[in-house]
Amino acid sequence: MRLREVLGVLSKSSPYAVKTERELALANSLDAVKDYLYVATDIEADFHNHLKSLSFGDKKIIFLCGSSGDGKSEILTRYSKQYQHKAHFHLDATHSFSPKETAIERLDQVFADYESGSKALVVGINTGMLGNYSEEGANDKIKQAIKGFLQKRPFNNEFVFLDFEQYPKFKLESHRYSSKFTEQLLQRVTAQDDNIIRQYFDKERALAEADGVLCQNYELLSLPSVQRIVVESLFKARLMKDQFLTARALLDFVYHLFSGDNYLSENLFTCSESEIVAKIADFDPALLRTKLIDQFVLSHKLNIEDSEFEEFKLALKAKGFDFRKLRSPESNIRLFYLLQHEDIGNNYHHRFKADFNDSLLDKYATIWRLHNTPEHAEAKQELKQFYREVLLTAISKYNNRNAPQLGKDELLLTTRGGFHIAAQVDVKQDNAAIKMEAATESEHVGYFHACLKVDEQPLLKMAVNINLLGLLYRICEGYQPNKHDKNAVVLLDELVEELHDIASKAKTLYILRGSSRYRLYNAEGNGSELEVSGG
């Protein structure tokens, strides 16, 4: 077997993409590869612990739920025979066993058999089907338990719900962001020792007609620094593009990196056939417009000789990387990006390293961590700086964009006939709410909750994702949001609207026109008697 065929077990089009209970005579060698590549996950460990804790005759329903492609079938199949004496396994609740019955009717029968039997029940089910059964199913007790789970309310201890959504693919740790599943998979595919796939790689490389591009891609992805770039690209797609990542999609993505039509640096950014790559393409380093990158592209297109670049290419070739197909300057920029953490020859590619630095990603990771550790002395100071210099400044500039003469503690409420009406408000961070949020120990890395209060009155928490954070920084620098920012602006508008509701009830309002400024003070707060001053 050739290396491409061996790596094919990662592809979603492979018959090995979904494991089912089958007694077919499959190729032993590919079975061995698939077994070697298998990465156990945290949800599998928890699922296994629940199975081990079952006593004979223990009446309990364990739901393993998530989305299509996240690995439910693989996990269920691995344990169904081992624990069939303790539980009945319904592996796929999305389908029925007969064209004359629906999936809901099949579940009704499965639940009825469970209630009349003596075993526990294990059900693999998509979250959407859970919702459907909670509305259309016949078993009221189970329907109520499902509704409780979906609405995050307490439910009977007879039911266990293990949801893939509660086991995020990415984590933000103290000094880095990580993807345990992806990192372990890449390490296992490319390990130097005791690696069945590397044996096929060595055989492929020794062939007279070896698949050179595939072999170079394998060597590139064997570099820990390149694996780091891949994980970072996936993380950005998850954060900025809300790309949903299942185990099956990640496996297929890794297969594409190896076996795409070009070198790894191209496969990562330039394939429209892969849904994940289509999102990562927005972060293509060749799209960056910096002085150094523009100079390199222009010089390359004008065929201006660059002896240092030629020396760098010779060093690459000496290390076994011969990128003759990378003829365009954009392709070379992608290669520089992929190898930015590697020392090669004269390190020509390092001159672009500062241009590749994604400061927004680092800022987001830092502020997310601060919200999850607000009690640390250093975190308190940094949080205070973020709220004062970024969040509150951006809110003020955005809300008062049509009345820039207003101070940071003044809020424009409306404009009528050329007159601006504003209120003085005391908006500041809500430390108690931030501390309470941190206590929930949320694993969700897609957002953090910014907590504010106005005159000691708490505001609704604002979920800040990386796109909104980027917009806040740009507003602070003078940027005016437009239609392209609509998804982030919606969140900002919701907060401003709530601020207006509170500020409009303030005892003191200001009316401004040109250089004239009037102060309206309502001592009683009911509008019956107003004091007017200014001019």
* pLDDT tens profile 223-246: 999 999 999 999 999 999 888 888
Nearest to 289 by CA among 298, 281, 301, 276: 298
User: Rounded to an integer, what distance in angstroms lies between the CA atom of residue 179 and that of residue 276?
Assistant: 15
What are the sequence ranges of the domains in the chain?
42-166, 171-356, 373-534
CA 349 to chain centre: 29
Q: Which residue has the higher pLDDT, 514 or 229?
A: 229
Average pLDDT of the chain is 88
Count of C-beta atoms within a 10 Å radius of residue 122 = 26
The single residue listed with the structure tokens 């795409």 is 260
Please give the Cα distance from 131 to 148 (Å, whole number).
Answer: 11
| Model pTM score | 0.85
The token pair that represents 164 in the structure block:
């893939």
Could you list the beta-strand ranges (E) of 175-328. 177-178
201-212 burial: b if 16+ Cβ within 10 Å, else e: beebbeeeeebe
Strands 120-126 and 419-424: unpaired
Residue 204 in this model has a pLDDT that exceeds 80? yes
Cα–Cα dist 510/303, whole Å: 64
Residue 51 near residue 87, CB atoms below 8 Å: yes
- The two structure tokens encoding residue 38: 């298998």
The backbone torsions φ and ψ at residue 209, rounded to the nearest 5 degrees and listed phi first, read -110, 50
Q: Is 42-166 a domain of CATH 3.40.50?
A: yes
What distance in Å separates the CA atoms of residue 178 and residue 368, rounded to the nearest whole number?
14
* CB-based contacts of 373, cutoff 8 Å, min separation 6: 379, 438
Structure tokens at 174: 């103290």
Query: Which residues, in sequence order, are CB contacts of 335 under 8 Å at separation 6+?
Result: 263, 265, 323, 326, 349
- Looking at residue 26, what is its pLDDT? 44
Contact (Cβ atoms closer than 8 angstroms) between residue 288 and residue 33: no
pLDDT in tens, 385-413: 999 999 999 999 999 998 988 888 889 99
Predicted pLDDT of residue 149: 94
| % residues pLDDT > 70 (the chain) | 92
pLDDT > 90 fraction of the chain, expressed in percent and rounded: 59
